[in-house]
């Protein structure tokens, strides 16, 4: 696949994700966590595990919205990339929960440091994307609003296929080609 074909492929997947994220269920967030994981491997051309995911948040997603890198929890921690990996990505993908497993806790994941909602609920409860949240059992969390998160993902896809991406990762085009050669994307009449 050439760069244009790779870009087209990921833009189609993003449109599918947009539809899923609008349905009001947690499934869209699970898909978004996996999509971010895939994008991190794509831009680096390899699976850098947790470091790659966190670096992708810091190096790319924070270019779209600086709060991904600068968000400050009530406990004064500025570790949203770590929470997005350990609680959001690992928690939702492996446990379908926002409570990290023991391994993720040992690595810095904090229970329910992320809360998820959709536009309808965010308006009703006056919650904004990437704002602080505290209520009931949840004392210190960052809010992810599905529709806003999806806009950020759309912008980050646009960024990684732009010339500006080479400023972040000079070998991004070669990395992308190497990754899809080794792990070709799903194609066909699924």
Q: Rounded to an integer, what distance in angstroms lies between the CA atom of residue 121 and that of residue 37?
A: 27
Pairing label, strands 138-145, 114-117 = parallel
Q: Rounded to an integer, what distance in angstroms lies between the CA atom of residue 118 and that of residue 177?
A: 35
pLDDT at residue 63 greater than cutoff 90: yes
Q: How confident is the model at residue 65 (pLDDT cuts 50, 70, 90)?
A: very high
Share of the chain above pLDDT 70, in %: 98
pLDDT for 22 equals: 87
Nearest to 66 by CA among 110, 129, 123: 129
pLDDT for 88 equals: 96
Domain limits, the chain: 3-124+136-182
Q: Are 82 and 73 in contact (CB under 8 A)?
A: no
The pTM of the whole model exceeds 0.75: yes
Tokens for 180? 């899809």
Token pair 């696949």 in the structure block, residue: 1
pLDDT in tens, 77-135: 999 999 999 999 999 999 999 999 999 999 999 999 999 999 999 999 999 999 999 99
Q: What is the mean pLDDT of residues 1-6?
A: 93
pLDDT for 23 equals: 87
Distance of alpha carbon 189 from its chain centroid, rounded?
27
Q: How confident is the model at residue 189 (pLDDT cuts 50, 70, 90)?
A: low
In the sheet where 114-117 sits, what is the strand order?
Answer: 114-117, 138-145, 132-135
Our separate counts of H helices and E strands in the chain read: 12, 3
pLDDT in tens, 141-160: 999 999 999 999 999 999 99
Q: Rounded to an integer, what distance in angstroms lies between the CA atom of residue 180 and that of residue 88?
A: 25
Tokens for 75? 């406990």
Say whether 48 sits in a helix, a strand or coil: coil
pLDDT for 190 equals: 59
Q: Rounded to an integer, what distance in angstroms lies between the CA atom of residue 61 and that of residue 67?
A: 9
pLDDT for 187 equals: 80
| DSSP single-letter state for residue 49 | H
Alpha helices in 61-171 (DSSP H): 62-64, 67-70, 80-83, 90, 102-106, 119-124, 146-160, 165-168
């Amino acid at each position: 696949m050439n760069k244009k074909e790779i870009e087209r492929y990921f833009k189609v997947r993003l449109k599918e994700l947009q539809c899923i994220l609008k349905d009001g269920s947690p499934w869209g967030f699970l898909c978004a966590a996996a999509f971010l994981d895939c994008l991190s491997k794509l831009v680096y051309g390899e699976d850098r595990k947790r470091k790659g995911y966190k670096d992708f948040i810091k190096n790319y997603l924070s270019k779209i919205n600086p709060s991904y890198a600068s968000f400050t929890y009530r406990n004064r921690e500025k570790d949203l990339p770590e929470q997005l990996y350990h609680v959001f990505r690992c928690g939702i993908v492996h446990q379908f929960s926002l409570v990290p497993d023991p391994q993720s806790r040992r690595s810095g994941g904090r229970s329910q440091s992320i809360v998820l909602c959709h536009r309808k609920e965010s308006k009703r409860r006056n919650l904004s994307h990437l704002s602080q949240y505290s209520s009931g059992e949840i004392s210190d969390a960052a809010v992810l609003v599905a529709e806003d998160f999806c806009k950020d993902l759309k912008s980050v896809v646009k960024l990684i296929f732009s010339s500006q991406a080479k400023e972040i990762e000079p070998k991004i085009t070669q990395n992308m080609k190497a990754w899809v050669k080794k792990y070709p994307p799903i194609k066909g009449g699924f």
